[in-house]
Amino acid sequence: EVQLVESGGGMVQPGRSLRLSCAASGFSFEDYAMHWVRQAPGKGLEWVSGINWNSGSIGYADSVTGRFTISRDNAKNSLFLQMNSLRIDDTALYYCVKDIHVEIRGDMGYYGMDVWGQGTTVTVFS
Amino acid sequence: QSVLTQPPSASGTPGQRVTISCSGSSSNIGSTTVNWYQQLPGTAPKLLIFSNLQRPSGVPDRFSGSKSGTSASLVISGLQPEDEADYYCAAWDDSLNGRVFGGGTKLTVL
């Protein structure tokens, strides 16, 4: 069974850090790009960051650039998101997501997020 | 403010045909393909359409997608009660160098 399981969420004060992890199973992890997508309470989806199959291509949303760092360990089938300088508006459910392509931009328009975890909740409060 | 623009709500009765629009620009929809996602209440999103009109395995053919210029559409034919959900369009944006989502459309089955 293809599965993504996130962990590492919690409640923190503004300015602090958290590290999210995602354990992948049931597919060849190293063959796909991976993403973090978040959803604030009662709000829509926001792409946070993506990483290609070999960590050679990485992208971030403007809202997190300079504060968040995505990484992956293909040997351990794991995806990570280091979140520093957290702000109240970072409060959200964070999803780990698998792409159908090896690259975050896809190729010839072929891309899409086909497997989603259940999410881990990050709450930033003052 | 989302980069891709969707109507906040849509509705229809069982059996009807419903269309959800998604408007973008030359840096996103105009230069690449569009995905559509369905999010049922309390669950994680699900890929519904990729490459403008392709359905992943298991997605009913009642769901179809199309694209023209800088806009895209999701059509649900033969609406069913279980289609009540939030629907999001998404695309790669060359200017932002990242993925972007629409604000979402809440579909109500009357």
| pLDDT beyond 80 at A50 | yes
Residues B85, B96: Cα–Cα separation, whole Å: 28
Residue type present at position A10: G
How far is CA A43 from each of CA A2, A31, B38, rounded to the nearest angstrom?
Answer: 27, 31, 14
Return the pLDDT at A8: 98
Residue B48 in this model has a pLDDT that exceeds 90: yes
Contact B44/A61, CB-based, under 8 Å? no
The string of pLDDT tens digits covering residues B65-105 is 999 999 999 999 999 999 999 999 999 999 999 999 999 99
Give the angle A30-A36-A39 at the CA atoms, nearest 5°. Answer: 155
Is the pLDDT reported for residue A57 higher than 80?
yes
Q: Do A106 and B32 touch (CB under 8 A)?
A: yes
Band the pLDDT of A106: cuts 50, 70, 90.
Answer: confident
User: Chain B contacts of A61, Cβ < 8 Å?
Assistant: 96, 98
Which of B47, B96, B101 has its CB closest to that of A45? B101
Three-state secondary structure of chain B = CCCEECCCEEEECCCCCEEEEEECCCCCCCCCCCEEEEECCCCCCEEEEECCCECCCCCCCCEEEEEECCEEEEEECCCCHHHCEEEEEEEEECCCCEEEEECCEEEEEC
Supply the pLDDT for residue B90: 97
Q: Where is average pLDDT lowest: A18-32, A67-81, A99-113?
A: A99-113
Please, are residues B48 and B83 in contact by the beta-carbon 8 Å criterion?
no
Decide if B26 touches A, using CB distance below 8 A.
no
Residues in chain B closer than 8 A to A118 (CB atoms)? 44
| Minimal-distance CA residue of chain A relative to B35 | A112
pLDDT band at A108 (very low <50, low <70, confident <90, very high): confident
Contacts of B90 in chain A (CB under 8 A): 45, 47, 113
pLDDT band per the 50, 70, 90 thresholds, residue B49: very high
**Mean pLDDT within B1-7:** 94
Q: What are the tens digits of pLDDT across the range B50-63?
A: 999 999 999 999 99
- Per-residue pLDDT for A46 more than 80? yes
